[in-house]
Structure 1
Amino acid sequence: MPRLLAILNRDVDAPNLTVLKTREALASYLRDGITYPFFSKPVGGSFSLGIVGVEHFDAATDRMQLAGGGDVPVDDYVAALFEAYEAGPRYHAKGFLFEELLRTHPDLETLCGTSSLATLRVILLIEDGKARLYRVAWKIPAGANQADNYWRSGNLLAPVDIETGLAGMASRGFGLEQEHLEAHPDTGVAIAGFAVPDWSALVELACRATDAFPGMAMQSWDVAPTDKGPYLIEVNGVGDYTLPQIAYGEGLLDDALLAFQRRCRQRKTR
């Protein structure tokens, strides 16, 4: 997973971790302590709301260069985070994480035209201590989006063949507005037939990660192919099950999943 650099939270004390509790401490850390580039996000966040990627700090202007373009004064960034922390939505109330900024795999940068991550929602079924792939939906950023969430206008979603790691035709939009694309709209590079980088290693990593949550029989992991290899981003206990249904163009509750659910119920009643 991305290396954790620091946390902003007044109620936390953690050994071997930088904990920021005041505006002054955060400003000082951004100017003199943090390793650039970095990525910040709400501790209790979801849907990529409240995320910021920062490339570097210009001491001469006291401004930070943002991933995707633009810059912001350090004091403005600090004020915005503390305003959200103190009076913002509930998912900001737990503070913010600061992590290393990961960059996508070079093949995906060629495909998408951006260094932003294009994560795969890897859905696994776990029985008798063994995980197996069920569905994989590939979230593909497009346009000016810095996050790959499908709800962001213009982003794409593609199914991945779980045997080969090859992507199918991508979808964009919802309902009557949905369209299907064989190539990325920004670069023209074909998505259909595209081989997910480091596929075998990515699958192995996701399967091993399920051991961390032995009580969850169905897990949805977001895994990113990066320039350093596959990285775990997060696990979803439920996840957005509309994603694989949109990607594959069919419902999720097929015979295989129904049989799995029956076996899970039988084990619970023994």
Structure 2
Amino acid sequence: MDSIEDALKYQQIRDFGFNEKEISFLDLMSKPEEEICTFLPIFYQRSNLLETVNSAQRHILSDKIAAQHFLDATGITTPTLIGVWHPIFGLTADGRPMTTTEQLIEEFSAQLKNVDHIDLIFKPRAGGCGRDIVAATIAKAPSEDITAIIDDKPEAIDVLIESLPEDPFSFHGETSQGWVIQHRVKQHPDLAYFNSSSLNSIRIGTFITRPQGGDTGEPEVLMDYACLRVGRAGSSTDNGTTGGLLVDIDIETGTLNRGRYILEFSGAYADEHPDSKLPFAGHKVPYWEEAIELCLRAAKTLPSVRSVGWDVAIAEDGPLILEGNSGWATLTPQAHDQGYLTPERRAMYESSGDPMPSTQLPPRRALPGQSKQSWALYKLRKKMGV
């Protein structure tokens, strides 16, 4: 801190609910009070807002298997599912046991009936943030044995299974209870254009207005925000937590603006992909209107989960939903120097009776170690300009 004035402002912003990372990433110390209050602290979002707008239906989305079966049943396009691998709880997509290596190989063999290899994704059933996701290619050897290609060499399926983390990452801090196995989406070349090693997905937020069961009016399902995530060369994931970039999208046109790293990877802005050197600005997301329509339909399947961040992949023949996040991060819609709480969004939430943080910072208070007398003298000197 350069001065006591800075220290007091910093404490005031902390009292509003922002943590140290948010203050740095959002550059809040350089902003006036009115602008600071347009940013939504993640603490307030998680402890107040989402607890109000999202009912217990949200737990469907936290289990990747339950979510996929639910979305498939309601006609929402998702990646092709093989099943969940686990030595006790493993099941194929149609409910048959998949708890042994032999059963897993049998499923792979069925998938390889008419092709010589398949590209798959293994992800923890209760995972999040793109962590512990494993990409694998399964192929038929000349001997007709089923092998996993690891470091460009064929290996037994047992080797692949043993290479998976013993206790896969869980967003909820509990054992994930298995690995969801899906066919890897072959993404549209207009998104592979930036980086082909990662599936570069779009986060699209939806919001359902008015509390369910309200006295008057009909709920509306609205687009809320959008962002493209692009991975680095050689990475199989696109998340900011694994070094990827968050690229702003014009929600009206589907056109890209500039990108940005999260704070752990410098927090810097980027006009082009750091590896391919291809510029972001002006690039149109393919099937943009179809992606929006798909997310709005998905939102309607869970009407009491009113605020969801949908992860969308754009395949060669159109969009599909990878997963829905009822606990989406405020980082995504606020990464490009604009607060989430625009006047329009405040009005949207307030018209539904949802809680909103104040439009003013809390009163400044003495720093630890300052007596009431010294604090009063400080304010007097400040007023007198001495």
- TM class by shorter chain equals 0.7 to 0.9
In structure 1, the partner of 2:208 is 126
Highest RCO, 1 vs 2 (Cα 8 Å, sep ≥ 6): 2
- Give, in angstroms, the shift of residue 213 of structure 1: 0.7
In structure 1, the partner of 2:122 is 40
In structure 2, the partner of 1:262 is 350
Q: Tell me, yes or no, if the aligned pair for 2:312 and 2:322 is still in contact at 8 Å.
A: yes
Distance 1:185 1:223 in 2: 23
- Give, in angstroms, the shift of residue 28 of structure 1: 4.8
Q: Which amino acid in structure 1 is aligned with residue 250 of structure 2?
A: D
* 1:143 pairs with one of 233, 247, 251: 233
Distance 2:188 2:294 in 1: 16
Q: Which amino acid in structure 1 is aligned with residue 222 of structure 2?
A: R
In structure 2, the partner of 1:109 is 192
- Normalising by structure 2, we get a TM-score of 0.60
Q: Tell me, yes or no, if the aligned pair for 1:27 and 1:78 is still in contact at 8 Å.
A: no
In structure 1, the partner of 2:97 is 19
Structure exhibiting the larger radius of gyration computed from Cα positions: 2
In structure 2, the partner of 1:65 is 149
- Normalising by structure 1, we get a TM-score of 0.84
- Give, in angstroms, the shift of residue 257 of structure 1: 2.0
Q: 1:1-270 residue pairs with structure 2 within 5 A?
A: 1-9=78-86, 10-11=88-89, 16-30=94-108, 32-35=109-112, 36-59=118-141, 63-65=147-149, 70-71=152-153, 72-81=155-164, 83-84=166-167, 92-112=175-195, 114=196, 116-127=198-209, 128-153=218-243, 155-174=244-263, 177-246=266-335, 248-265=336-353
Between Structure 1 and Structure 2, which shows a larger proportion of strand residues? 1
Secondary structure at 1:53 match in 2: strand
Task: List alignment gaps of at least 5 residues for structure 1.
Answer: none
Q: Which amino acid in structure 2 is aligned with residue 38 of structure 1?
A: L
Secondary structure at 2:294 match in 1: helix
How many residues were matched structurally?
Answer: 258
- Give, in angstroms, the shift of residue 91 of structure 1: 5.0
- Give, in angstroms, the shift of residue 13 of structure 1: 6.2
Secondary structure at 1:136 match in 2: strand
Cα deviations across residues 115-173 of structure 1 (Å, max 9, x unaligned)? 531111111121234322121111111222110110112x1111111111111111124
Q: Which moved more, 1:203-212 or 1:44-53?
A: 44-53
Question: Over aligned residue pairs, what C-alpha RMSD do you find?
Answer: 2.7
Distance 1:176 1:110 in 2: 22
Secondary structure at 1:200 match in 2: helix
Q: Which amino acid in structure 1 is aligned with residue 266 of structure 2?
A: E
Q: Which amino acid in structure 1 is aligned with residue 162 of structure 2?
A: A
Between Structure 1 and Structure 2, which shows a larger proportion of helix residues? 2
Secondary structure at 2:162 match in 1: helix
